[in-house]
């Protein structure tokens, strides 16, 4: 069955450093991969989408890579700030209408 794994349940890093989150998947060939941010008690908010034929996508301090051979995506936040503390979810989508989410990584940025 399709499976998505986000490598760590929680990640703590120092303000100013680059946070790197990992998303791995198996038994799936997604047409695109998405990253979302979720704050406590709120629904996820879309951040970035990267398609299967794209290697990298950037948006301000965010960078996403997508390696369909490794079946992996990396999500980077450069110059991290305490306000970046949240749970980050990856999601996969394909030709079917459904979108499957990973369990998320809780990121904490300490001042």
Residues that bind another protein (CB under 8 A): 6, 32, 34, 36, 41-46, 49, 89, 91, 93, 97-104
Q: Shortest distance, CB of residue 108 to another protein, whole angstroms? A: 14
Phi-psi region of 95 (alpha: psi -120 to 50; beta: other; left: phi over 0): alpha
By beta-carbon proximity to another protein, the closer residue of 15 and 62 is: 62
**With contact defined as beta carbons under 8 Å apart, do 72 and 49 qualify?**
no
Backbone angles phi, psi at 43, to 5 degrees: -75, 160
Cβ 16 to another protein shortest distance, Å:
28
């Amino acid at each position: 069955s399709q499976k998505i794994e986000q490598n760590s349940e929680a990640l703590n890093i120092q303000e100013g450093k680059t946070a790197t989150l990992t998303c791995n998947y198996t038994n799936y060939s997604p047409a695109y991969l998405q990253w979302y941010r979720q704050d406590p008690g709120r629904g996820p908010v879309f951040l970035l989408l990267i398609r299967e034929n794209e290697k990298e996508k950037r948006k301000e301090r965010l960078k996403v890579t997508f390696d369909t051979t490794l079946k992996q995506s990396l999500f980077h936040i450069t110059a991290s700030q305490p306000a970046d503390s949240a749970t980050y979810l990856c999601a996969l989508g394909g030709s079917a209408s459904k979108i499957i989410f990973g369990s998320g990584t809780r990121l904490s940025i300490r001042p």
